[in-house]
Amino acid sequence: MRVDINVLQPADSPRLGGCSEEFVHSLASSDAPIPPVVVHRPTMRIVDGAHRVRAAALRGCRAVDVEYVDGTAEDAFVLSVELNLATLSTADREAAARRVLRSHPRWSDRSIAAATGLAAKSVGVLRRAVGGQAASRIGRDGKVRPVNSAAGRRLAGQLIQDRPTASLRDVARAAGVSPGTVRDVRRRLSQGLDPVPERMRAAERSEAALPQARTEVRVPGTTLPILRRDPSLRFSEHGRLVLRWLEAHAVSPGEWVAVVDGMPSHCRELVADLARGCAEAWTEMADALERENRAVG
């Protein structure tokens, strides 16, 4: 299907550095036909083919061939990662994995590793850094498995006590665990032991202490160059206004130290109040942007 280029929205690219101008010009100067661009139908955002769209515009084309995909915006981002794995740097793939961990916390380490081109152990390390743990995870085979089966063991133990004649399979089905787990719970109960082994109880305690998932924060020195290269900002009046506003207000970590060192004592409280007010305004803006992003997704 041919679609007007102006209708397409900028890509939610997994590339931290944005598009390669060199590659765009290489495509534009080639005589080869431009392959179809993958587009997220609900938002008209480019999933794969941002370079192709810009190259087509340089050739003077007003429309490009499009293949649509549906689903959520976050699922579209995962597809974008998968379609571009061969050209993503390690930093790109790690940043993508962090985002997928936040948007799909129930996916197993192996599932996220397959989508982002990382090792499953690397995803596990990133999961601990991102924080937040789901009670169960969905494997690559689509099956749901508990991260810690302690709750299922406790329920199985209660069912065994309430229904001592129930079969292993009946208890397993009701408790959401395997018949082998039910057999082990029954054995432990007969020996007067807790149905949950100590190692699982320890895992529960450590999971309870993990921090909640949070949004990854990039420093302005990393984010601003990416935004400056975004055509939707560079080539629109509002976009340029946004860039100027961000450049004037962004403060890098540690940049405030020199301000504090030279601040007169009688001004410190006033400046502290001003800083807190600005921080609250930035937080409100961040919340509003995230709400808008979720509404679009």
Instruction: Please provide the DSSP assignment of 124-152 as one string.
Output: HHHHHHH----SEEE-TTS-EEES-THHH
Asked whether the CA dihedral 93, 72, 136, 139 is positive or negative, the reply is negative
- Count the domains in the chain: 4
End-to-end CA distance of the chain: 23
CA distance 117 to 94: 9
pLDDT at 273: 85
**Which pLDDT score, from 0 to 100, does residue 212 have?**
47
pLDDT on residue 254: 66
Quick one: pLDDT at residue 287?
A: 81
- pLDDT of amino acid 145: 58
80 and 10 share one domain: yes
Q: Residue 175 has what pLDDT?
A: 82
Looking at residue 213, its pLDDT comes to 46
Give the pLDDT of residue 215: 45
215 in a domain, yes or no? no
CA distance 63 to 57: 8
d(CA 39, CA 46): 5
Regions of the chain with pLDDT less than 70: 131-148, 203-204, 206-222, 253-254, 296-297
For 149-159, what is each residue's pLDDT tens digit? Answer: 788 888 899 99
Is the residue at 165 inside a domain? yes
Tell me which of 184, 208, 232 is where a domain ends.
208
Asked, for residue 213, whether it belongs to a domain, the answer is no
Same structural domain, 79 and 106 = no
Residue 79 CA, distance from chain mean position:
12
Confidence at residue 131, expressed as pLDDT on a 0 to 100 scale: 62
Domain extent for 130: 89-144
Q: In this structure, are 245 and 172 located in the same domain?
A: no
What's residue 283's pLDDT?
84
